[in-house]
Amino acid sequence: MKDKSSDVKKVTGRPDLRLLSLGMYCPGCHYGIITRVICEVIEELGVAGKAIGLAGVGCSFGGAPMTIDIDWTSCPHGRAPAMATAIKRIYPDAMVLTVQGDGDLGAIGLGCFMNALVRGENLTTIFLNNAVYGTTGGQMAPTTLLGMKTTTTPLGRDIQTNGYPLHVPELAATMRGVAYAARCTVHTPANFQKAKKSLKTAIQKQIDGIGYGIVEFVSACPPGWGLKPLECLDYISERMLEEYPLGEFKNVDKTD
Ligand code: SF4
């Protein structure tokens, strides 16, 4: 009988930067897939040796530093852009990225983030938007959808009491020091590939010294949404992307 093992072609595998730790993610959380996007992009750009990650407070901190084999530091809540600014100015050749959730960046850290954009820092931010505070029990976030039920909006988010959902890349795109702003998902294989392209473009802007790059990942939080992992995929397609359209909002080769 012919030995078929020699016919087997390896088409994928664990990225070299992906540590064996599973991280601290719930079943169905998309953060594990996003860490794979980050690993693959850093490897393909050949910048692993000079990559420094800054993890915000929340589930993003519970996973990224444990699963991606680059240098990391943890930050006071919402202050990753300020620490990233200091590190980038001390080590201008480093590739510095922040990984922040919707509470860390969009609530307590929004002022810190906006000031980094105003200064036109040469950084990359990965913004994880699952529309709830996953770590602390599914409370309303700045990105919670109108009508969405959370533990602090049991009747659904309403405009009169809670205001409107926050659109981070659209907001960032208005800032003169921002070179790239986009939103993506990893809830289908095609979108995984588009997300890689977006993150690669954002990091390349930093490498080329053009300006700030931000990529939002719309992602699932099954316990926060009260849905099964597969139901979350439909929820993203039918509800999340209605409020948060995918695409590039800014992509320039020169900032002011
Ligand atoms: S609580 Fe939500 S965001 Fe946090 S690890 Fe679980 S699924 Fe992911």
218 Cα–ligand 1 center, Å: 13
Which residue ranges form the domains of the chain, and what is each CATH number? Answer: 28-251 (3.40.50.970)
Share above pLDDT 90 across residues of the chain, in percent, rounded to a whole number? 85
Cα–Cα distances in angstroms (integers) from residue 12 to residues 6, 16, 106, in the given order:
16, 11, 35
Closest protein CA for atom 5 of ligand 1: 25
Question: What pLDDT shows up at residue 36?
Answer: 94
Answer yes or no: are the C-beta atoms of 193 and 185 closer than 8 Å.
no
β strands within 75-218, DSSP E: 95-101, 124-129, 132-133, 139-140, 178-185, 212-218
Q: Report residue 245's pLDDT band, with 50, 70 and 90 as the boundaries.
A: very high
d(CA 119, CA 175): 9
The answer to whether the CB of 26 is under 6 A from ligand 1 is: yes
* 204-222 mean pLDDT: 97
Whether the predicted pLDDT of 8 surpasses 90 = no
221 Cα–ligand 1 center, Å: 5
Answer yes or no: are the C-beta atoms of 221 and 28 closer than 8 Å.
no
Mutation pick for ligand 1 pocket among 24, 35, 66, 130 (CB with most ligand atoms within 8 Å):
130
d(CA 115, CA 31): 26
d(CA 98, CA 105): 10
d(CA 80, CA 131): 20
Mutation pick for ligand 1 pocket among 34, 127, 135, 136 (CB with most ligand atoms within 8 Å):
135
Share above pLDDT 70 across residues of the chain, in percent, rounded to a whole number? 97
Question: What pLDDT shows up at residue 222?
Answer: 96
d(CA 30, CA 23): 12
Helices 189-207 and 31-45, packing angle to 10 deg? 50
**How high is the mean pLDDT of the chain?**
94
**What pLDDT digit, counting tens, does each position of 27-40 carry?**
999 999 999 999 99
Using the structure block, give the residue that is written with the tokens 């992992």.
229
Whether the predicted pLDDT of 3 surpasses 80 = no
Which of the 8 DSSP states describes residue 118?
A: H
**What pLDDT digit, counting tens, does each position of 93-114 carry?**
999 999 999 999 999 999 999 9
3-state secondary structure of 240: helix
Number of the ligand 1 atom closest to the C-alpha atom of 62 = 5
The answer to whether the CB of 132 is under 6 A from ligand 1 is: no
Question: What pLDDT shows up at residue 5?
Answer: 65
The answer to whether the CB of 101 is under 6 A from ligand 1 is: no
For residue 17, count other CB atoms closer than 10 A to its CB.
Answer: 19
With CA atoms as reference, report the closest residue to 88 among 115, 110, 121.
Answer: 121
d(CA 109, CA 101): 10
The answer to whether the CB of 224 is under 6 A from ligand 1 is: yes
